[in-house]
Amino acid sequence: MRILISNDDGVNTPGIAALHQALADYAECVVIAPGEDRSGASSALTLDRPLHPMALANGYISLNGTPTDCVHLGLNGLLEQTPDMVVSGINLGANLGDDVLYSGTVAAALEGRFLSKPAFAFSLLSRLPDNLPTAAYFARKLVEAHERLELPPRTVLNVNVPNLPLEHIRGVQLTRLGHRARAAAPVKVVNPRGKEGYWIAAAGDVEDGSQGTDFHAVMQGYVSITPLRLDRTFNEALETMDGWLEGIF
């Protein structure tokens, strides 16, 4: 089996090295990742300039693009053989609830939705790498177990691992996405020449972290696994909108 590994933190970060090490003796792995931090890039594709892959001394491929660019090229001709699966991470920082809308880690996995096997996105709930071995352990176990899954095509599994040593993890739970409140207001800054700018502020607080959500699971010490799909159609709303269209045309 061939696995394409990517992330949004960058090709030289400890999370992607830990993920590659965890999977390298399980499958043929190739790493294609952004040359710099592209957190928050979501599913952006670079369309205004060419992308230039660069092979690094460790065998990884660095790309001057987004996480989605990396997987897109990896699945569409950059590699001699098409991968069977995409695995993204290990992100240093959570990707819970509404975070999946912005996450480059999740977006890289979503770009792997065309393959026959499910894609995985792995995140550790810390900006520090101390407990990366915990996340790497679950990455290996879950990817190994993928053949027992019966999932519809284009399914992505979003996995969040508490920032705990392995012996303190209480288990694994299947969850739904929770929800955050609105983010804090952007922070206004003025440079020495008087030009105004804004920093995007912290994500909103947890608004729905009830039992069954990914927020609740990780706060209780469980690894959270949330199946995602790209189709965002609000099917229930379709049933109530017929009358609204009457008389429009």
Distance CA 161, CA 141 (A): 13
In contact, 91 and 67? CB cutoff 8 Å:
no
Residue 210 one-letter amino acid: S
214 known ligand binder = no
62 annotated to bind ligand: no
Q: What's the CA gap between 95 and 93, in Å, rounded? A: 7
Rounded Cα distance between 161 and 211, Å, is 17
d(CA 225, CA 218): 10
Q: Which helix (H) or strand (E) covers residue 134, if one does?
A: helix 132-144
What phi and psi, each to the nearest 5 degrees, are found at residue 112? -90, 10
Taking the C-alpha atoms of residue 213 and residue 218, their distance in angstroms, rounded to an integer, is 9
- Give the total residue count for the chain: 249
Q: Is 91 within any annotated ligand binding site? A: yes
Q: What is the DSSP letter of 208?
A: E
Report whether 12 belongs to an annotated binding site: no
Q: Is 123:159 a contact under the CB 8 Å cutoff?
A: yes
Q: Which residues are annotated as a binding site?
A: 8-9, 39, 91
Q: Which residues are annotated as a binding site for a divalent metal cation?
A: 8-9, 39, 91
